[in-house]
Structure 1
Amino acid sequence: MTEPLWTLEAAAAAIGARLDDESRPLGGLSIDTRTLKVGDLFFAIRGEARDGHDFVRDALARGAGAAVVSAARAPDLAGAGPLLVVPEAGDDPVLAAMRALAVAARARSAARIVAVTGSVGKTGTKEALRHVLAAQGPTHASVASYNNHWGVPLTLGRMPAASAFGVFEIGMNHAGEIAPLTRLVRPEIAIVTTIEPVHIEHFRSLSGIADAKGEIFAGLEPGGIAILNRDNPSFERLSAHALASRAGRVVSFGEHPQADVRAERIVMRPDLSIVDAQVQGIPVTYQLGTPGRHTALNSLAVMAAVHALGADLALAALSLAQLRPPVGRGERTVLHLPEGEALLVDESYNANPASVRAALATLAGIAVEPPGRRIAVLGDMLELGAEAARLHRDLAGSVREHGIDLVHTAGPMMAELWAALPTPQRGVSAPASADLLDAVVAGIRPGDAVMVKGSNSTRMGRIVEALKARYGGAAPDRAVGRSG
C-alpha cells in the first residue's frame, strides 16, 4: 500500500490549523479543482483573479480529503466537508499555511536537494536532473514551471518523505523574490544556468538580474555547492554572491578552459547531441537525446550536480540518451501533409532573446531537402522594457546567420524584426497569433521544418495545436546509436 503524503492530523499540526474532523490519509496537495485528485488536501489560496474559497465546496464534492480555509471564511463553508481552519494573518493566511507545510516537508526529508534558476534553461535543466536522478532513487521535482511564490511551496509540500532526491526550479520577475523561496527549499546544491536580458524591464542592467538570481545562494545549506556557468559574463559576480553565502565551494561548467566540468567536444546532430566532457577530471562521453548547443551546455550543469551529489556518473550519462524535450520546449512532431511530411518544432512555451537565438540555431541544424524550407514562426518577447524594439530587430542577424528561409511574426514587437529582414525572408506579419494561424497552416509544404516560439501570453501554442489538428502528428523516428 502506498504511504499517504500526509495525514490530516499531521498537516493540521504543521500549519497550526484547527481540525474539526477525524484524522485521515491525504494523497496529495491541490490548489486547482480542475486537476484535483480524490484524497487531495485543497488549499483555498487567493489567486490574481479568483479566491480559492469560492471553489472549496466544489473541491470537497470532487473528493478532496479536506480543505484549508481562513478563519474569516470558515463560517460560510460550515457543513461542506472536512476543513482545516487557519487564523487570519497577512494578505493570504492559506498561502502562509501552505508555506508552513512546505517547511514541515523539508524538515522531515532526508532527500538530497538541488535548486535551479537562471534566465534561460532552468526548466530543461530541472527536467534533465529529474530524469537522470530518477534512475538512481525516488526523485521528486517541480511540475512544469512551478517556480514562483505558490509553485515552490506547493511542490515542496508534495515531496514524499521517502524521496532520495528533490529538484526544485526557482524563478523570479523582480529582485527579492528568489531569497524567500530558496530559504524554504534549503538546497545542498544551487545551479544558475545563465544570465541573459530576461525581465530586463524590471532591472537597470544585467548585473541587477545577476544579483537577483544570486539570491538562490541565500538558502544554501552550510557547505553547499554553487554550480555556475563559466562561459557567462556574469560568472565572477555570481561567484562572489556564492562565496559570500554558506556555500562551501563553487563548481563551474561550460566550454571555458578553466571550467571544472568542461565540454571538450560537442557534436550537433539534427535530433541529438554528443558531448565529450571532463567532469572534475573524469572523462565522460554521453549522448543527449535533445538537440541544441544550449541544451548540451546545460547538460554539463546536470553532470556537475550528479558528481556533487555523489551519484553514478556513468548511469547518468546513459540516462541522458533517453531524455526527450518537454512539450513547448523543443518537442518535435511529424506532420502528415497530403503530398508528404513536414517537421514541427514546438518551442512555444516562452521566449527571450537568448532562447530565440538558441531555437534558431537548432532549426538551422535540421536537415531540409529542397524544396523544403526552414520556417520560424515568432511571437513577441515580453518584459524587455525600453530596449524591446531593438532586441527584436537584432534577431535579424541570427535569422541570416542560421539560414532561415522564411519568418512569420505575431505582435507589434516582432513586426520590428519582420521589417529588418530582407524581402525574401519575410513571411506574414500579423498583430497576434490568432491572425497568423491560417497563413501558417495553409502555407506549410512537404519537406518544411517549422519552429514556433513566443512569450507565453502571445499564445503561440495555438498555432502548434492548429498544425497538429490539421495534419495529425507523431513523434519522429530516431536511430539512437552509440557515441564514440
Structure 2
Amino acid sequence: MEQLSARAKRLLGLDRAGPLRSNLRRLKGKYRIAMARLRRRRTKATVIGITGSSAKTTTAELLAHILEGSGSVHKLTVSNTFNRLIEKLSHLPRNSAYAVMELGVTAKGDMARMASVLKPDIAIMTLIADEHHSAFGGRAAVAAEKQALVESLAPGGLAILNVDDDLIAAMALKTAAPCVTFGRSERARYRACDIHAAYPERLSMTIYWPGGALALRTRLIAEHFWLAVAAAAAAALELGVDARIIGERVSTFEPMPTRCGVWQVRGGPTFFVDTAKTPFHSLGLAFDMLGRADAGYKRVVLGHIADYAGKPAKAYGSAYRAARAICDQIVFVGEHAHRSGAAQEDRDSGRFLEMRSVRQVAEHVRATQRPDEVILVKGSRNLHLERIALAADHDVRCWEPVCGYPRSCLECGKYLIPFEQHREMRAAEKDELRAARKRASLWRRFTPFPRRPST
C-alpha cells in the first residue's frame, strides 16, 4: 500500500479523500456510536449529564470527587465533545456506580446529538451566558441548545437547575421529569448562603434545604465557585449521599491547576492561574477574585479574550478599565494587546504594559516579582500563559507562541524542553502507544476466554 503512487491510490479510491476510505470512516463512526449506545444500555451506573456556559467542569470534577467516597465513578471532564463522549461511554464499566459526564457545545444540534446517546438519569444545568457568539448569537439561543439535555430525561429522571438563571429556571417546563433547584434565591430548594472567600481565606458557605443545613469549607479561592459547589452538593444529596461525607469530600477537593489554581513560588509571588478559557462574561469574576485578595501588590496579565459581541477594541478596553480598578499593574499580551485603549499616562508610568510574546511577559515578571504580590494570569489556552507562572521558578525552554497543543503545559509536560524537539518526542510516544496496543491485541487474540464457573 505504501508503495502505491498517489495517482494509483486516487484511481482506486484509496487516497484519504477517496470514497473507499470515506465510507470506512463513516462505518467506523457508526460502529463506535452503536458500541456507546450498547454500553449505555447495559450499565448499572446512575448517569449524570452536566452542562452550562461556565462552572460545568468544576461541578463535574467536584461531584465525581464527592461520589468517589461512596462508589466507583466513570467521568468525562474538560474534553467535553461528542467524540470524547462516545469514547468514554464505549469504555463505561457495567458495574460502575456513577457516570459523571460534562457536555459542551460549539454549534447548533450538538447537545441533542449528545443527549440522544447519553440518555442521562440526572441533568444538571449550571448557568447560561453569551458563549460561542458567532454560532448562537445570544443567551436565548444558547439556552435553547442546552435545554436538549433536560428534554432528554425520562419521566423517572431528575433535573437539577440553577433557579437564579431565568433561562434555566424556565427549563422546568420542558421536561416531564421532576426538577429540583439550587441557587442563592429564596426560591431554591438547595439555597447557598453565607458565601465568603478573600484569599488567603478560601471559599466557605452553607447549603440550606428542607432536610437541614450543611456548612462547607473548600480549597477554592473565589466566591463565584459557590455555584459549582451548590450544584454538586445538591446532586449528591439527591443521590442519597450522607451530608457528613459530602462535607468531608468537599474540604479535600483541590482547585484545578489552570482554573483559578493557586501557584505559590517560594520566596516569590502567588499566582492565580486561570488559563483554560477566557469568555468575556467571566472576566468580572476573575477580577473580583483578585480584588478581594489580601496582598501588598496586585498584577493582572491578560491574554486572548473570547466570546464577546461587537468589536475587539470595545471588549479589550472594557477589560482594561475593570482590571485597572483592582490592581497596581496591567500587562496585555498577544495579538490584541494594542486594543486596551490605555491612557498615555498609564503607559509612561508603567501602570500598563503592552507585550507581544509570553516569554517577554515571563521575563518581566521574573525580573520585577515581589514576595508580597498576587498575580492573576488570565487568558485562553492557545497562548499557554501558565508558562509565566512556571518560569518564576523553572527553567522553561518551550516558548512557541502558538504550539497547537489543546491542553495545558502541565498536561503536555514538555515545557522544560525546546519546542523544536517536541515533534520527535511525540512521534516516539505514538509509536510506543501503537506497539503497546498491538501487544494487547495479540494477547487477547491468543489468550482463550476464561470459562464460566459451572453451576
TM-score relative to the length of structure 1 = 0.72
Which structure 1 residue ranges, 5 or more long, are not aligned? 1-52, 55-71, 74-85, 472-484
Moved over 4 A (4+): 86-91
Aligned-pair CA distance for 1:296? 1.6
Q: Quick check: 1:111 aligned with 2:45?
A: yes
1:113–1:189 Cα contact (<8 Å) kept? yes
More moved, 114-123 vs 376-385: 376-385
- For the pair 1:355 / 2:282, whether they are aligned, the reply is yes
Instruction: Quote the Cα distance in structure 1 between the aligned partners of 2:30 and 2:345.
Output: 54
Q: Which residue of 1 aligns with 2:330?
A: 407
Tell me the equivalent position of 1:476: none
* Greater displacement, 182-191 / 225-234: 225-234
Q: What amino acid is the match of 1:311?
A: V
Report 1:129-208 matches (<5 A). 129-142=63-76, 144-208=77-141
Q: Report the equivalent of 1:93.
A: 27
The structure richer in strand per residue is 1
Q: Which of residues 284, 293, 302 is equivalent to 1:378?
A: 302
Is residue 213 from structure 1 mapped to residue 146 from structure 2 by the alignment? yes
Aligned-partner Cα distance in 2 for 1:421–1:218: 53
In structure 2, the residue matched to 1:316 is 246
User: Contact 1:117–1:169 at 8 Å: present in 2 too?
Assistant: yes
Work out the CA distance in 1 between the residues paired with 2:313 and 2:108.
24
Q: Following the alignment from structure 1 to structure 2, what is the Cα–Cα distance between the partners of residues 439 and 91?
A: 49
Offset of residue 106 of structure 1: 0.9
Q: What's the offset of the Cα at 1:425? A: 7.5
User: Conserved in 2, the CA contact under 8 Å of 1:396 and 1:421?
Assistant: no
1:326 is aligned to 256
Q: Taking structure 1 as reference, are residues 178 and 451 closer, same or farther at Cα in structure 2, changes over 3 Å only?
A: same
- By how many angstroms is 1:260 displaced? 1.4
- Tell me the SS of whatever aligns to 2:391: helix
One-letter amino acid of the counterpart of residue 394, structure 1: S
Whether 1:436 and 2:361 are equivalent positions in the alignment is yes
Show CA shifts across 1:174-233 (max 9, x none): 121111112211111111211112211222221111112212223323332222222224
- What SS does structure 1 have at the residue aligned with 2:259? coil
Task: Tell me what 1:43 maps to.
Answer: none
**1:163 positional shift:** 0.7
Cross-structure match for 2:207: 277
Change (3 A) 1:219 1:315: same
Contact 2:313 2:341 in 1 (8 A): no
Determine helix, strand or coil for the equivalent of 2:147.
Answer: helix
| Alignment match, 1:302 | 232
- 1:451 equivalent in alignment to 2:451: no
In percent, how many aligned pairs have the same letter?
A: 24
Distance in structure 1 (CA, Å) of the matches to 2:332 and 2:263: 21
Alpha-carbon distance between aligned partners in 1 of 2:362 and 2:298, rounded to the nearest angstrom: 17
TM superposition shift of 1:96: 2.8
Asked if 1:463 is matched to 2:396, the reply is: no
Q: Do the aligned residues in 2 keep the contact of 1:360 with 1:399 (CA within 8 Å)? A: yes
Mapped contact 1:183–1:218 kept (Cα < 8 A): no
Residues 87 and 412 from structure 1, CA distance in 2 versus in 1: closer, same or farther, beyond 3 angstroms? closer
Question: Which residue number in structure 2 is paired with residue 249 of structure 1?
Answer: 178
Q: Secondary structure at the match of 1:469?
A: coil
Report the AA paired with residue 426 of structure 1. R
- Compared with structure 1, are the counterparts of its residues 90 and 190 closer, same or farther at alpha carbon in structure 2 (3 Å cutoff)? farther
In structure 1, give the amino acid aligned to 2:234: A
Residues 176 and 388 of structure 1: is their aligned pair in 2 closer, same or farther, counting only changes over 3 Å? Answer: farther
Sort the Cα spacing of 1:114 and 1:321 in 2 relative to 1 into closer, same or farther, 3 A.
same
Q: Is the 8 Å Cα contact of residues 125 and 168 (structure 2) preserved in structure 1?
A: no
Please list the CA deviations of residues 242-291 of structure 1 after superposition, one character each: whole Å capped at 9, or x if unmatched: 43234x22222111121111112112242521111213452111112212
The 8 Å contact of residues 146 and 155 in structure 1, kept in 2 or not, is answered as no
Whole-angstrom CA distance in 2 between matches of 1:364 and 1:394: 16
Amino acid at match of 1:266: I
Root mean square deviation of aligned Cα:
2.8
Residues 445, 250 of structure 1: alpha-carbon distance in 2 compared, 3 angstrom cutoff: same
Compare the two structures and name the one with the higher helix fraction.
Answer: 2
Is the contact made by 1:176 and 1:212 (CA closer than 8 Å) also made in structure 2? yes
Q: Which amino acid aligns with 1:357?
A: G
Residue 345 in 1 paired to residue 275 in 2?
Answer: no
CA deviation vs aligned residue, 1:328-360 (integer Å, no higher than 9, x gap):
112212213xxx321122211111123322222
* Residue segments in structure 2 that go unaligned for 5+ positions in a row: 3-12, 15-19, 397-455
Cα distance in 2 between the residues matched to 1:349 and 1:89: 36
Aligned to 1:6: none
Q: Distance in 1 between matches of 2:92 and 2:175?
A: 26
- In structure 2, the CA distance between the partners of 1:439 and 1:306, relative to structure 1 (3 Å rule), is same
Asked if structure 2 preserves the Cα contact closer than 8 Å seen for 1:428 and 1:439, the reply is no
Q: How many residues align?
A: 379
Q: Distance in 2 between matches of 1:333 and 1:263?
A: 28
1:389 to 313, 319, 322: 313
Equivalent residues of 2:317, 2:340 under 8 A apart: yes
- Per-residue CA deviations over 1:434-459 (Å, capped at 9, x if unaligned) read 44332233232221111211112233
Partners of 2:139 and 2:59 in 1: CA distance: 21
Matched to 2:334, the amino acid is G
1:265 aligns with 2:194: yes
The residue aligned with 2:294 is 367
Q: Structure 2 counterpart of 1:257, which letter?
A: E
